[in-house]
Structures are given as C-alpha cells and as structure tokens.
C-alpha cells in the first residue's frame, strides 16, 4: 500500500464572517497526482497554505509525514534552484528586473530542486509561454513524488492528474479520475438533477391543481333550499355535510402529500447568453484592421522586421509566441500606444467602422474600485440591466455578489468584472491580452462560450492551449522570423505542422537512401578488393525497393 504523506482532518478557516474552508478530511498518498479545482475565491490557495503549514487553520489538524515543496502563485523565489533545473527551465540567474514568466521559472526551479516526496503547486503556469508550459508539463510528469496542483490549464490537468478535489462552499468533493472525466460526471449529475427538478415541479403543479379542484368541488355543493320541508331539509343537510367533509378530507390529503413532497433544488446552471454582443454596430467591411510593421525593437533588440497581418471582420484570432517575442507590445501599438523603450516603424490601419475595446493584463486600472460589480459592468453599456446580469452570471459572479464594491474583490473576480464591462460595451473589436490569467477553470470555460458567440472581431493573446483551441478560428505566430498567419484552428495548425515535420523527415530519409545507392553504384562499377558483387547487388536492389516505397509515401 502506498505511503501516506499528508493527512488533514476537520479543517475550518474563516475570514470575517465567511467560512472559507470546512474540509472533513484529505489524505494524500505517495505517487498521487491531484488536481485541486474550484471557482475564484473558493479558497484553493488558502487550503494549499494550510496544508503546507504556512497558514494556520482555525480548527482541525494537518499531519505531514514527509517533507514537501511549494510552488507559490506569485512572489520571488527564496533561493536558487539546482543548476540543472535553472538551465532546463531557462530561469535567469539574476533576481532583479525579471518579467512575470521569468519569476515563475525561478519559483518552479526552486521548488522542484527540493525533490521532495510531495509537491504543492499553485498556478505554476502563470505568465509562462507555450514552450514553458510544455517544459513544465514534462517536468511534472517525470516528478517522482506526489503532486497537488492548482491550475486553470485543462490540458495540463488531463495529462498529469488522476484524482480531482473540487473545493466548493468550503467543502471537498473527492473524485478518482481525470478532470475531463470529472466534468463529464458533473454534467451527468446536472442532467439528473434537472430531471428530478422537472419531475418535482410537475408533481407539485399536479397536486396544487388537485387541491384547488377539491376546494372548488366542496364550494359547489348546494345547501338545502329555504322552502324545503323539515325532513327533506335534514336529509339534504346530512348529504351536504357529508359531501363537504368528503371533499375537505380529500383536499387535506392532497395538501398533506404536497407538504410531504421532497423538495428538489433547481441545478445551478448558467443562463443563456445567445445575444447580440458585439453586433450593435456590425462591421460591414471584410477587414477590421491591418498592421504593417517595417521594424519593431525593444531595448535595442529587434523583435520583428518587415512583417504584418490583417484581421478579417468577425474572425477570432489568437496571437501566439514565446515570452518576450513582442505580443503585448504589438497589441499596444494596435491601440495607438508605443511603450517607452520601443522602436516602431510602420502603420496601423483601422476600418472607420471599428469600435475597439481593450483588456489589459493590468485590468484593474479600467475599474472604479469604489463602485459595485454591476455598476462597473454597466458603466459603458447601453444594454439593459438584465443583459448585464446575465453576462456577469456567465462569468460566475452571481446573486448579491454583483453589489459588492470592486475594492473587496479578489484578483480573479476583478478580472471577471473587467471582462464583463468590456463585453457589454458598445464595441465590435475586442483586443484581449491574457484574458485567462487569474480566472478559475469554470469561468474560463464560460468565457470560451461567450467569445465563440460574440458577434464582433476578436484578437487575443493566451498561452492556454485549451482556450486557444476552443476560441480561435485563425492563428498568428510571432517570432524572430516574422509574423506568420495560419487560416484555421489551432488543432488544424498543429496537425499541419506535424505533417510538415513528417514530410521533412521523409525527405531526409529519401536523401539518405539516395546517397547510399549512389555509393553502392560506384562500388559496383569499380569493385574493391574483398567486395562481393552478388551481395552488393542484393543490397542495391533492397535499397532501390526502399526508395520506391518512400517516394510513394511522399507523393
């Protein structure tokens, strides 16, 4: 049986009047790969801190039977990692002037260098580019200890984790399986809950109608006429009383059944958002925007030379590239800003009908911290409050939370508010710089659906492969070689790149066989001492047949 590494029992943690954690038990065994999921503000980071011993629970106990390492979501690494990991992760040796992605690499190298039996990782993909996420995925898969991972990267969760802990309303649901399997189980549960709720409503409506009918029948029983004789009146009164009592008893029976009917709650589902977001002023032209970039440099380092791209109206375009390749800089230039230290030659041509909206990584500056979520969301909107409430709910801010001032919200909740404000604005071109940063996994899935249904044009930067795959209809790639455009989805681009790699490998194999055939032909024309012509001929025929097969594959 695997060794028990950590055990937490009866954990309770309160902030103010809010009970954040009410966890009965968690046991972590050697070799387990656990995904810890939940909405923004659910308490995932708090739970990791309690498990790590960096924060005390109000009640309960945590027993740690092995050393552990902790990849924090933010902040500086406390010490340098091993030389091997620093090199492998391309983590900088310096501590000053680091980008977000570089700081993340240092935190990862620090934690993994401990090589402990248990690793806690809180959003370790934060600010990493696609290459960094791919490398991190490999390192985590190869990690010899147990892992508890908080991440919104569904691709990473599905590749790595085989157990899911879902933190909701302070409590833990423990599921043995991958994230996708858990989501499928949640879907089945929601469908069954909806079925039970619909059946409950139908039965409740039937019983209420029956009770009303019994009441009407009792009221319709006629009393004895005034001119009726005494004997006839007594008989009629007796019959009347019996009829009324009978109907009243039937009504009470129905009402008792109605009161005993087990109440079924309506499943918490997202409201429909199939609406005309982004098409109030629909762009009639074919092209929304054109960028011509003769030269782009940062700090004296050339990023792009002689490149450009267009945005077709109505398209959903992902801009991808490594950290430091210039993605955010390009987005700012599209907005009309040239950051300090940036050299740019070229021009941006916007269609006159374009109304641009912008989601910055520093999205908090677009919000009024003293205003509520709803007030912020509607600040630049002409849409009714009901539509605003629907959009906000789809981004997983529900109920009275819409009346909270932004100042008291978490980073993820502020990001949701900024996105709601942008989606509700009177615009038809969205430019989104890392909109999935700080969002929980469920909100990301909702945002995917909203953007797919958005009627305007979208250009976005994201390193989340699942998000890009779900939303983008075309892909721009920026590198030192320039800016390339792929007209198709990320999955199609990946498949084509694989075909290209296979075709290149096939051509190399063909060239290798051709060179070997040429060398054999030379030896056959001028045999050397010790050569056996029959063996050389046999080898030549075999290689010739191999070449024919390779060329057929290449056709």
Determine contact, residues 85/91, Cβ cutoff 8 Å: yes
Between 280 and 466, name the one with better pLDDT.
466
For residue 197, what are its two tokens? 């709720």
Do residues 518 and 399 both lie within one domain? no
CA dist 498 and 492 (Å) reads 10
Nearest to 361 by CA among 232, 461, 221: 461
pLDDT at 508 over 50: yes
Work out the number of other CB atoms within 10 angstroms of the CB of residue 381. Answer: 18
Q: CA distances (Å), 35 to each of 29, 111, 372, in order?
A: 14, 18, 33
The dihedrals phi and psi of 369, each to the nearest 5 degrees, come to -65, -25
Asked whether residue 433 is assigned to any structural domain, the reply reads yes
How confident is the model at residue 224, as a pLDDT?
Answer: 47
User: pLDDT tens digits for 63-120?
Assistant: 999 999 999 988 888 787 888 888 888 888 777 777 788 889 999 999 999 889 999 9
Rounded to a whole number of angstroms, the distance between the first and last alpha carbons of the chain is: 55
Do residues 506 and 480 both lie within one domain? no
- Calculate what percentage of the chain has a pLDDT beyond 90: 41
How confident is the model at residue 150, as a pLDDT?
Answer: 96
Between 365 and 358, name the one with better pLDDT.
358
Flag the least confident range among 8-22, 100-114, 506-520: 506-520
Do residues 14 and 110 both lie within one domain? yes
Neighbour-count burial of 423, counting CB atoms closer than 10 A to its CB (0-12 exposed, 13-18 middle, 19+ buried): buried
How confident is the model at residue 278, as a pLDDT?
Answer: 67
User: pLDDT tens digits for 133-144?
Assistant: 999 999 999 999
- Residue with the two structure tokens 């269609």: 351
Asked whether residue 324 is assigned to any structural domain, the reply reads yes
Determine contact, residues 363/392, Cβ cutoff 8 Å: no
Residue that is last in its domain, among 449, 465, 488: 488
Average pLDDT of span 369-397? 90
Kindly give, in sequence order, each residue whose CB lies less than 8 Å from that of residue 284, ignoring residues fewer than 6 positions away.
Answer: 313, 353
3-state secondary structure of 300: coil
How confident is the model at residue 344, as a pLDDT?
Answer: 92
Kindly give, in sequence order, each residue whose CB lies less than 8 Å from that of residue 369, ignoring residues fewer than 6 positions away.
Answer: 405, 406, 407
User: pLDDT tens digits for 425-450?
Assistant: 988 999 999 998 888 888 888 899 88
Neighbour-count burial of 3, counting CB atoms closer than 10 A to its CB (0-12 exposed, 13-18 middle, 19+ buried): exposed
Asked whether residue 269 is assigned to any structural domain, the reply reads no
Determine contact, residues 318/490, Cβ cutoff 8 Å: yes
Do residues 468 and 517 both lie within one domain? no
pLDDT at 233 over 50: no
pLDDT at 507 over 90: no
CATH of the domain at 68: 3.40.50.300
Determine contact, residues 288/311, Cβ cutoff 8 Å: yes
The dihedrals phi and psi of 282, each to the nearest 5 degrees, come to -65, 135
Average pLDDT of span 192-205? 76
Asked whether residue 17 is assigned to any structural domain, the reply reads yes
Do residues 415 and 461 both lie within one domain? yes
Per-chain mean pLDDT for the chain: 84
3-state secondary structure of 411: helix
Most confident range, picked from 199-208, 417-426, 532-541: 417-426
CA dist 284 and 382 (Å) reads 21
Number of domain units in the chain:
4
Residue that is last in its domain, among 488, 508, 528: 488
Average pLDDT of span 397-407? 90
Between 207 and 423, name the one with better pLDDT.
423
pLDDT at 320 over 80: yes
Nearest to 410 by CA among 450, 430, 437, 387: 437
Do residues 151 and 17 both lie within one domain? yes
How confident is the model at residue 13, as a pLDDT?
Answer: 95
Do residues 414 and 458 both lie within one domain? yes
Work out the number of other CB atoms within 10 angstroms of the CB of residue 16. Answer: 6
Do residues 213 and 145 both lie within one domain? no
CA dist 463 and 117 (Å) reads 29
Asked whether residue 422 is assigned to any structural domain, the reply reads yes
3-state secondary structure of 220: helix
Structure confidence at residue 16 as a pLDDT band (50, 70, 90): confident
Structure confidence at residue 549 as a pLDDT band (50, 70, 90): confident
Please list the residues that pair with 6 across neighbouring strands. 28, 64
Residue that is last in its domain, among 260, 277, 295: 260
Q: What does the radius of gyration of the chain's CA atoms come to, in whole angstroms? A: 33
Asked whether residue 434 is assigned to any structural domain, the reply reads yes
pLDDT at 125 over 80: yes
Do residues 417 and 449 both lie within one domain? yes
Do residues 251 and 380 both lie within one domain? no
Q: Which domain holds residue 172?
A: 4-177
How confident is the model at residue 100, as a pLDDT?
Answer: 81
Q: How many CA atoms lie within 13 A of 289 on its CB side?
A: 27
Look up residue 59 and give its DSSP letter.
E
How confident is the model at residue 242, as a pLDDT?
Answer: 58
- Residue with the two structure tokens 């240092």: 106
The dihedrals phi and psi of 35, each to the nearest 5 degrees, come to -95, 120
Asked whether residue 274 is assigned to any structural domain, the reply reads no
Please list the residues that pair with 484 across neighbouring strands. 477
Do residues 450 and 505 both lie within one domain? no
Flag the least confident range among 372-381, 417-426, 511-520: 511-520
How confident is the model at residue 487, as a pLDDT?
Answer: 93
Q: Could you tell me the strand order of the sheet in which 457-461 lies?
A: 356-359, 429-433, 457-461, 316-320, 474-479, 482-486
Look up residue 435 and give its DSSP letter.
T
Q: CA distances (Å), 530 to each of 94, 147, 522, 526, in order?
A: 63, 62, 15, 12
Between 153 and 193, name the one with better pLDDT.
153
- Residue with the two structure tokens 């782009």: 296
Do residues 246 and 322 both lie within one domain? no
Nearest to 318 by CA among 65, 494, 181: 494
The dihedrals phi and psi of 538, each to the nearest 5 degrees, come to -65, -45
Asked whether residue 475 is assigned to any structural domain, the reply reads yes
């Amino acid at each position: 049986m695997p060794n028990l590494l950590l055990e937490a029992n009866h954990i309770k943690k309160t902030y103010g009047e809010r009970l954040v954690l009410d966890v009965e038990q968690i046991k972590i065994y050697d070799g387990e790969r656990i995904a810890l999921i939940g909405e923004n503000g659910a308490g995932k980071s708090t739970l990791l801190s309690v498990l790590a011993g960096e924060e005390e629970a109000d009640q309960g106990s945590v027993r740690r039977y092995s050393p552990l390492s902790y990849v924090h979501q933010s902040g500086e690494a406390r010490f340098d990692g091993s030389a091997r990991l620093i090199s492998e992760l391309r983590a900088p040796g310096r501590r000053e002037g680091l980008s977000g992605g570089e700081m993340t690499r240092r935190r990862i190298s620090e934690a993994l260098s401990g090589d402990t039996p248990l690793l806690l990782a809180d959003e370790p993909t934060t600010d990493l580019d696609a290459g960094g996420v791919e490398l991190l995925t490999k390192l985590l898969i190869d990690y010899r200890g147990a892992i508890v991972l908080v991440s919104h990267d569904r691709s990473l969760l599905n590749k790595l984790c085989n157990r899911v802990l879902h933190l909701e309303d302070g409590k833990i649901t423990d599921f043995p399986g991958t994230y996708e399997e858990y989501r499928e189980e949640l879907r089945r549960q929601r469908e069954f809950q909806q079925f039970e709720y619909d059946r409950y409503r139908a039965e409740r409506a039937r019983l209420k109608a029956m009770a009303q009918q019994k009441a009407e029948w009792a009221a319709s029983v006629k009393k004895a006429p005034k001119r009726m004789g005494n004997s006839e009146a007594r008989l009629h009164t007796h019959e009347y009383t019996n009829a009324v009592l009978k109907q009243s008893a039937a009504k009470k029976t129905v009402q008792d059944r109605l009161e005993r009917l087990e109440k079924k709650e309506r499943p918490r589902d997202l409201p429909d958002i199939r609406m005309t977001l982004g098409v109030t002023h629909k762009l009639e032209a074919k092209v929304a925007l054109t960028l011509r970039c003769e030269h782009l440099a940062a700090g004296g380092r050339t990023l792009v030379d002689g490149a450009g791209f267009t945005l077709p109206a109505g398209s959903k375009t992902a801009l991808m590239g490594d950290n430091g390749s210039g993605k955010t800089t390009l987005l700012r230039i599209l907005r009309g800003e040239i950051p300090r230290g940036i050299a740019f030659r070229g021009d941006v041509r916007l269609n006159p009908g374009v109304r641009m909206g912008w989601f910055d990584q520093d999205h908090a500056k677009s919000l009024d911290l003293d205003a509520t979520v709803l007030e912020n969301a509607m600040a630049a909107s002409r849409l009714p409050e009901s539509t605003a409430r629907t959009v906000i709910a789809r981004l997983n801010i529900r109920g009275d939370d819409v009346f909270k001032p932004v100042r008291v919200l978490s980073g993820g909740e502020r990001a949701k508010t900024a996105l709601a404000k942008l989606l509700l604005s009177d615009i038809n071109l969205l430019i989104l710089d890392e909109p999935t940063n700080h969002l929980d996994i469920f909100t990301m899935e909702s945002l995917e659906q909203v953007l797919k249904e958005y009627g305007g044009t979208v250009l976005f930067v994201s390193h989340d492969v699942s998000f890009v795959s779900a939303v983008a209809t075309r892909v721009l790639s920026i590198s030192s070689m320039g800016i390339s455009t792929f007209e198709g989805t990320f999955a199609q681009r990946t498949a084509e790149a694989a075909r290209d790699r296979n075709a290149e490998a096939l051509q190399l194999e063909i060239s290798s066989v051709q060179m070997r055939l040429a060398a054999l032909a030379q030896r056959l024309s001028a045999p050397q001492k010790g050569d056996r012509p029959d063996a050389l001929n046999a080898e030549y025929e075999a290689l010739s047949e191999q070449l024919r097969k390779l060329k057929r594959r290449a056709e």
